[in-house]
């Protein structure tokens, strides 16, 4: 699947791959990307531009799932009913840098996380930032301004497949009839799902029933490392960054299991424009040498392969693990 990336960040553009369309200007790190959605295909995409940071600071109390910053009144700073993303940006335990938590509960100076961050080693003085999670309306337009094919049911409209713990929920733009007009969930009746969050680390599918189309998405660039949870045999993850991220620069080989062949190593699956996937793995020696290789590609170095907006991780082991995705080097001064 082709993804054309255009941003307004000169520093990032200088590090972008030659296949990426470029528009140079000296501004803050924000811009837009254009995804090409292929007809009749499940297009795997992810959010590489995000909502701006709402608040940043450091924690003065860390107790279980409760994290407090007395310099911030979260009750007045955050918007009720929204989902926010907590990112740890500078922790004494550097292994926590890049960790992401979903936040839906807060009061006064305290936010509540799903995981026990105290037990994971978060400490007083560790720095963080919060940004709102993008929603279906943010990404596709409250009235479907991006132009997906709508319809009276999910069977005739383009579908958005958002991952859940057990599979996917399917969303579509209803153009009338029994379900009314607006964003709906298949099986969810006439309730509006315009505010359904899309977690920034998740890859998701768009099933395009109409002709090929280009979808533009705007937002801010994440300029810190990311840590993604690999919890299934196949995990769909977001590429997180709009330009400049490659297999080599990502440093994923530090967390993925390598091996002498693709059959014994964790795999990175990148969707091809015509459908299907190219398979990459980190070779640890033997016939293929050491480094990033493509399954079926012999010993040719593939470290410069650009990461798309989303890709699949196939793990060979049974245990969950965290995968750190390093930001491109060109983002260091942003």
Res 10 pLDDT > 60: no
Q: Which residues, in sequence order, are CB contacts of 176 under 8 Å at separation 6+?
A: 152
Mean pLDDT of 212-238: 94
309-326 pLDDT per residue, tens: 999 999 999 999 999 999
Residue identified by tokens 């996937």 is 277
Q: Which of 130, 102, 119 is nearest to 62 (CA)?
A: 119
Residue-averaged pLDDT of the chain = 91
Confidence of residue 76 (pLDDT cuts 50, 70, 90): very high
15-26 pLDDT per residue, tens: 333 223 333 333
**pTM for the predicted model, two decimal places:** 0.90
Report the C-alpha gap between 334 and 330 in whole angstroms: 8
pLDDT at 275: 87
46-62 pLDDT per residue, tens: 999 999 999 999 999 99
Report the C-alpha gap between 87 and 224 in whole angstroms: 9
pLDDT at 6: 39
Residue 294 pairs in a beta bridge with 280
């Amino acid at each position: 699947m082709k993804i054309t990336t255009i941003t307004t960040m000169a520093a990032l553009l200088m590090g972008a791959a030659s296949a990426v369309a470029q528009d140079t200007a000296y501004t803050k790190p924000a811009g837009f990307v254009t995804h090409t959605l292929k007809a009749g295909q499940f297009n795997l995409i992810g959010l590489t531009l995000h909502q701006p940071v709402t608040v940043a600071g450091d924690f003065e109390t860390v107790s279980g799932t409760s994290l407090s910053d007395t310099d911030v009144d979260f009750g007045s700073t955050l918007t009720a009913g929204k989902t926010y993303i907590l990112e740890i940006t500078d922790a004494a335990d550097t292994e926590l840098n890049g960790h992401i938590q979903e936040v839906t509960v807060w009061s006064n100076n305290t936010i509540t996380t799903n995981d026990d961050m105290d037990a994971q080693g978060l400490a007083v003085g560790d720095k963080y930032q919060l940004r709102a999670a993008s929603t279906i309306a943010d990404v596709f337009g409250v009235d479907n301004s991006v132009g997906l094919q709508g319809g009276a049911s999910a069977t005739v409209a383009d579908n958005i497949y958002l991952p859940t713990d057990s599979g996917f929920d399917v969303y579509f733009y209803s153009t009338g009839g029994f379900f009314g007009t607006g964003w709906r969930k298949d099986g969810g009746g006439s309730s509006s799902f315009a505010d359904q969050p899309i977690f920034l680390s998740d890859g998701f599918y768009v099933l395009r029933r109409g002709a090929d189309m280009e979808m533009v998405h705007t937002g801010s660039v994440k300029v810190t490392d990311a840590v993604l949870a690999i919890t299934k045999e196949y995990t769909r993850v977001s590429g997180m960054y709009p330009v400049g991220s490659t297999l080599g620069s990502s440093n994923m080989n530090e967390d993925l299991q390598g091996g002498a062949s693709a059959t014994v190593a964790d795999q990175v699956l990148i969707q091809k424009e015509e459908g299907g996937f190219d398979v990459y793995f980190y070779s640890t020696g033997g016939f293929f040498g050491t480094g990033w290789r493509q399954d079926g590609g012999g010993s040719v170095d593939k470290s410069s392969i650009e990461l798309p907006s989303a890709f699949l991780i196939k793990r060979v082991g049974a245990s969950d693990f965290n995968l750190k995705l390093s930001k491109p080097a060109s983002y260091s001064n942003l």
